[in-house]
Amino acid sequence: MAKYGVGMTLYTSTPSLKPSWPFPGRQLTFFDYYETAALTNDQVILCHVNKGDRVVGGWVKWDALGSGVTLTAGDQLNCSRLMSTATATFASLSNQLSPGCGYFTLVPEGFEYTADCDLFVWVGSTAATGTISMQVDIIRRAQ
């Protein structure tokens, strides 16, 4: 059964209009986190995007979640669309851009959603205990 973050926060209360981007619209940044306790084979929903939203980047961050814990980040159609499988045994990874962080960058094209969709972090078959957080950068079309 899916878990939900503590409450998605919109960082940009007055989103900036980006008319010079290849995809004009308002840039929004969302953040949420979830404190896991022996979570296995489950998704943690940390963001919701609307039809027409274009995800252009963001990150997933985690504590040392336990030995052999793996994470991916994506959506209902592709659970690793945003971040392929990462080992979260320690809060630092040699193959990531920053300790305990998996960056995803989809610019300049980004990925445009054709329907409303939840974005989540998937926890693999090994129990994870600790904090998982996600920030997502979105371009939302002007209405």
Q: pLDDT tens for residues 82-135?
A: 888 888 766 644 444 444 566 666 545 788 999 999 999 999 999 999 888 888
Asked if the structure places residue 89 within a domain, the reply is: yes
Asked if the structure places residue 41 within a domain, the reply is: yes
pLDDT of residue 91: 64
85's tokens: 């499988």
Asked if the structure places residue 116 within a domain, the reply is: yes
Q: Is the pTM of this model over 0.85?
A: no
Residue 59 sits in a domain whose CATH number is: 2.60.120
Domain range holding 130? 35-140
pLDDT of residue 94: 40
**How large a percentage of the chain has pLDDT more than 90?**
27
Give me the number of domains the chain comprises: 1
Laid out side by side, the sheet with 3-4 consists of 3-4, 42-49, 117-123, 70-75, 83-87
**Residue 59's pLDDT band (boundaries 50, 70, 90)?**
confident
Asked if the structure places residue 109 within a domain, the reply is: yes
Rounded to an integer, what distance in angstroms lies between the CA atom of residue 122 and that of residue 116? 19
**How large a percentage of the chain has pLDDT more than 70?**
71
Asked if the structure places residue 55 within a domain, the reply is: yes
